[in-house]
Amino acid sequence: MEIFGIILLVLLLLVLAGTVAALLRDGLGHNPPVTSDQAWSALDLPSSSYTLRIF
């Protein structure tokens, strides 16, 4: 029974170390800001609601 506890502890430490490494490599979520360069358009969206067209 002790072996399962040791395996669980080692697995937990590996997961924790992998999570910390992934966060550090990712830059802790600092992404470049989203910029809008083109004017917004609805393209081919319908002008009436989908639910209204069903009835």
pLDDT digits (tens, 9 = 90+) for 30-46: 667 777 777 777 666 66
Task: Name the pTM for this structure.
Answer: 0.47
Q: Cβ distance 46 to 53 under 8 Å?
A: yes
d(CA 18, CA 34): 29
With 80 as the cut, is the pLDDT of residue 17 above it?
yes
d(CA 1, CA 20): 29
Q: What number of helices (H) and strands (E) belong to the chain?
A: 2, 0
Q: Which tokens go with 41?
A: 């358009």
Enumerate residues 6+ apart whose C-beta is below 8 A from 14.
none
